[in-house]
Each structure stands twice: as C-alpha cells, then as structure tokens.
C-alpha cells in the first residue's frame, strides 16, 4: 500500500522573493553609485530611485498575494521613500539639480575646458580657476550640490567677481563675507563689477553644507 502521507520535509522550498528583490535593489544602487563615482556615466538618481521604488511596490504586492513574508521589502520601500522625499524637497526648494554623483571631485579647467555648470549630489566639489585665462566680458558659472562642501578658489586677480549663493542650512563664506544658519540666500558683488573688463558671475548653491568662494 502506497504511503500518501505528505511530510513537511517533502515540501519544496519557496523562493525568498522579498530578500531577492531587496538584494537586487542594493546591487542596482551600488552599481549606479560606482559608475557615477568613476565618472563612467551620469546617473539620473531621482528617476533611478523612483523606478526601484516601483519595483519594490510590485514585489510587495506579489508577496502579499501569495501570503509570503515581505523579507525586508517594507523597510526598503520606506527608506527609498524617505530618501526620494528629502532629495526632491531640497532639489526643488533650492534649485539644486540631482546630478553629478557622489564623492569628492576636483576640477582645474583651462579656458577651453571650463564648463558652465558643475554639480554633485553629495561630497566635496572643488573648482580651481587658476588656469583659466578669462576672456573680456562676463563669464557665468553655476555650481552646486545637495549635501556637502562646495569650494571655488584661485580666482585670478584681474577678474572682478559677483556671486549669488543659497543654502538650506550651513555656512557660506564669499571672499570677506560670512553667513551661517538656515535659509541663506545672499548676493555679493565686488566694487566696479559692472564696468570691469573681465567679470565672473557665480551662482553657487548647496542644500545642506558649506560654500567657500575665495581667491
């Protein structure tokens, strides 16, 4: 007589969907972080995190319909939601684009390689202008990051500077002026800026952190 008793040991193990999706999320974010830090590609972080959040939501719905445990998906979803909310709020309120990656970046451009914009999401961004032979007229540069420190230095002595700065919270030092606290939104122009032969206009922004503009 055949024994039809089905014992627990005969059950096939179910795939831990929650753990698999959580691991895939960490891999995706980690790979994006690495490629961004190596300057291989420019990662649209807001879009990437939003897409990952959608995947987590679909996985949660799938596990719930099967009666399976979420396996960390709820925590992952909450964390991603908080990160997206903070980044989006800071980016929108202070016009700091979520681009440029993470880590420390240092640029020493020439006049030919000088770019109009420099951005970083988190870390330290330093822009040295020592090698730039500024043309006659006005040169405009926008620089900013969401979290960290922004330094613009080595401005040539024959260039007259005007700066607009903003920070959600932190410290801003522009030449001989210093502002600290929250909701910083200031502007400063050196004497004779409007009539100077070579003029540099800087638009410098941080979400939370520091700004230093010095010669």
SS3 assignment for the chain: CCCCCCCHHHCCCCCCHHHHHHHHHHHHHHHHHHHHHCCCCCCCHHHHHHHHHHHHHHHHHHHHHHCCCCCCHHHHHHHHHHHHHHHHHHHHHHCCCCCCCECCEEECCCCCCCCCEEEEEEEEEEEECCCCCCCCEEEEEEEEEEEEEEEEECCCCCCEEEEEEEEEEEEEEECCEEEEEEEEEEEEECCCCCCCCEEEEEEEEEEEEEEEECC
Radius of gyration of the chain (CA): 25
Q: 156 or 92: which carries more pLDDT confidence? A: 156
pLDDT at 188 over 90: yes
pLDDT grade for 80, boundaries at 50, 70 and 90: low
Residue listed under structure tokens 């030919």: 112
How confident is the model at residue 104, as a pLDDT?
87
Split at pLDDT 50, 70, 90, the class of 102 is confident
Q: Give 112-131 pLDDT, tens digit per residue.
A: 999 999 988 888 999 999 99
SS3 193: coil
Above 80 in pLDDT, residue 21? no
Q: What is the mean pLDDT of the chain?
A: 78
With a cut of 90, say whether residue 63 has pLDDT above it. Answer: no
Q: Indicate if the pLDDT at residue 14 is higher than 70.
A: no
| Greatest Cα-to-Cα distance within the chain, rounded to the nearest angstrom | 105
Structure tokens at 193: 């800026």
pLDDT-based confidence at 168, cuts 50/70/90?
confident
- The arithmetic mean of pLDDT across residues 167-195, rounded, is 92
Q: How confident is the model at residue 145 (pLDDT cuts 50, 70, 90)?
A: confident
Which stretches does DSSP call E strand in 41-89?
Answer: none
* Backbone phi, psi, residue 60, to 5°: -60, -45
The answer, as to whether pTM is greater than 0.75, is: no
Least-confidence region, from 41-45, 79-83, 98-102, 106-110: 41-45
Neighbouring CB atoms inside 10 A of 16's CB total: 15
Interacting residues of 65 by C-beta distance below 8 A, sequence separation 6+: none
For residue 208, the tally of other CB atoms under 10 A from its CB is 17
Residue linked to tokens 């409007």? 194
Contact indicator for 26, 75 with CB cutoff of 8 Å: no
Q: Is 6 helix (H, G, I), strand (E, B) or coil?
A: coil
Number of CB atoms found within 10 A of residue 72's CB? 16
């Amino acid at each position: 007589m055949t024994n039809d008793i089905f014992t627990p040991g005969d059950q096939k193990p179910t795939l831990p969907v929650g753990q698999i999706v959580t691991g895939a999320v960490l891999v995706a974010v980690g790979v994006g972080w690495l490629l961004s830090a190596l300057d291989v590609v420019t990662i649209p972080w807001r879009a990437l995190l939003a897409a990952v959040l959608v995947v987590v939501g679909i996985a949660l719905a799938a596990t719930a319909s099967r009666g399976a445990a979420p396996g960390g998906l709820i925590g992952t979803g909450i964390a991603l939601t908080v990160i997206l909310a903070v980044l989006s709020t800071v980016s929108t309120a202070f016009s700091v684009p979520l681009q440029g990656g993470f880590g420390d970046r240092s640029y020493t451009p020439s006049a030919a390689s000088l770019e109009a914009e420099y951005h970083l999401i988190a870390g330290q961004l330093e822009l040295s202008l020592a090698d730039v032979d500024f043309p006659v007229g006005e040169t405009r540069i926008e620089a900013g990051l969401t979290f960290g420190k922004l330094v613009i230095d080595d401005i040539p002595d024959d260039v007259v500077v005007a700066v607009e700065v903003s920070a959600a919270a932190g410290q801003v030092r522009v030449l001989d002026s210093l502002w600290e606290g929250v909701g910083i939104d200031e502007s400063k122009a050196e004497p004779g800026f409007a009539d100077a032969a070579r003029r540099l206009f800087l638009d410098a922004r941080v979400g939370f952190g520091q700004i230093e503009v010095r010669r």
